[in-house]
Amino acid sequence: MPRGANWRSRISAPANYELGGQGRIRLRYEIALEHDKYEWPAGIEEVAYHTDEGLMSTGYALLLAPGDAMQGAIDIRFELPKDWKAITPWQSTGENRFAVPSRRELLNNAMFFGTAPAETLQVGGVELTFVLGKRYRASKDLFVELLSKQMRSYREYFGGDPLSSRYLIIVNQGKDDGGAYASSFSQLISGDATAENRIGWGYVMSHELLHFWNGLSLVRKDSRDEWFNEGFTDYITLVTQANNGLLDQNRFHWRMENIARRYLFARIGQHLGMTVREAGADKQPNRELIYGGGALTGFALDVELRKASDGRIGLPQLIQSMYAEFGKPGLTYSLEDVERHAKALTGRDFREFFAHAVESKDYFDARPWFEDVGLRLDNFLFDESYVRPSPSASAAQKQRFRDIFGTQVAAP
């Protein structure tokens, strides 16, 4: 897999069992905790693994939970080896006992059982608990800095808290990857976590954290708008990290290059000929097109909104407007809604823009939008993209750069 292709958010498909009759049964079962003996398509951090401090597991891998019978809140208690603790995203009601709001929350979450200590941060209205494996405890301050800065920025970008007010993050050593759940995410990092390599681990963590808003609170109607879910998450991660001083100018350019390259590689390297919307039907094979095409669309839209409104409206205002309407349980948005909000905010019709960006099989040449913020993008062959300050950047373009990316990254 090309570098940067390892961010995943996948919700595992539960298996189904049928019982004859409608009676109530008491079930005792054993689980072979041998998940590490198998290859998992989206990575073992989305299933279950051991460390020398305990066990990480998702609800899906551990629990049988009858779909029809399990309505409403669930009371769960874990009996664990001495000195072990259960760390979950749920409200504690006793020793290793929790109140789980729903069956979905029960299954679609990651949890940790063992001796690893947990820390809790309050950011805005959200209670963030994190469990760092041994290797990462020395880097705790870096994690806290990243999590608190990014959480504050997302809250501002969306204009409110995510739907869930309690989150759990579990970090251990392993093959770089991450997976987001209803109120938790699970991340593996291959080496130490430092400020130098934050471009890797910090990006995955920020991306997954942002899914608590985009994806879990602001929910797409169907897979055709997966580009908005993943691509905008990547783009907003980049923008907020730049604003928060978490990317220096080199790293900022690498990140911009990366979104351009992913799209280039999908279209020219992988010969993916479908539209960006169509790509959502089969996420894993089409991920470069979904993430790259979606992130480029987010960037181009951010610029176009600003051009259409004398700089008054950008992507944050559009997201806030959508979040005010759709950031509620059970509601979903689609492309028409994005267009409707863009038009309501700026007076401009964005139909043609989206037809070109996500509903066309033609190559989406993003160079003009890079120019619009004073950057020059050069693509070569099928997998090389380079971004640098444009030698002819105008004052207006430089200002637009600062409006979007802030002043922590040097403007062109």
Enumerate binding residues for Zn ion (CB under 5 A): 9, 230
Measured from the CB atom, is 114 or 162 closer to Zn ion?
162
CB of 269 to Zn ion, least distance (A): 21
CB of 177 to Zn ion, least distance (A): 11
Measured from the CB atom, is 85 or 207 closer to Zn ion?
207
Q: Three-class SS string for the chain?
A: CCCCCCCCCCCCCCCCCCCCCCCCCCCCCCCCCCHHHCCCCCCHHHCEEEECCEEEEEHHHHCCCCCCCCCCCEEEECCCCCCCEEECCCEEEECCEEEECCHHHHHCCEEEEECCCEEEEEECCEEEEEEECHHHHHHHHHHHHHHHHHHHHHHHHHCCCCCCCEEEEEEEECCCEEEECCCEEEEEECCCCCCCCHHHHHHHHHHHHHCCCECCCEEECCHHHHHHHHHHHHHHHHHHHHHCCCCCHHHHHHHHHHHHHHHHHHHHHCCCCCCHHHHCCCCCCCHHHHHHHHHHHHHHHHHHHHHCCCCCCCHHHHHHHHHHHHCCCCCEECHHHHHHHHHHHHCCCCHHHHHHHHCCCCCCCCHHHHHHCCEEEEEECCCEEEEEECCCCCHHHHHHHHHHHCCCCCCC
CB of 137 to Zn ion, least distance (A): 26
Measured from the CB atom, is 212 or 370 closer to Zn ion?
212
Measured from the CB atom, is 232 or 370 closer to Zn ion?
232
CB of 134 to Zn ion, least distance (A): 27
CB of 192 to Zn ion, least distance (A): 24
Q: By Cβ distance, which residue is nearest to Zn ion?
A: 9
CB of 40 to Zn ion, least distance (A): 17
Measured from the CB atom, is 198 or 207 closer to Zn ion?
207
Measured from the CB atom, is 230 or 257 closer to Zn ion?
230
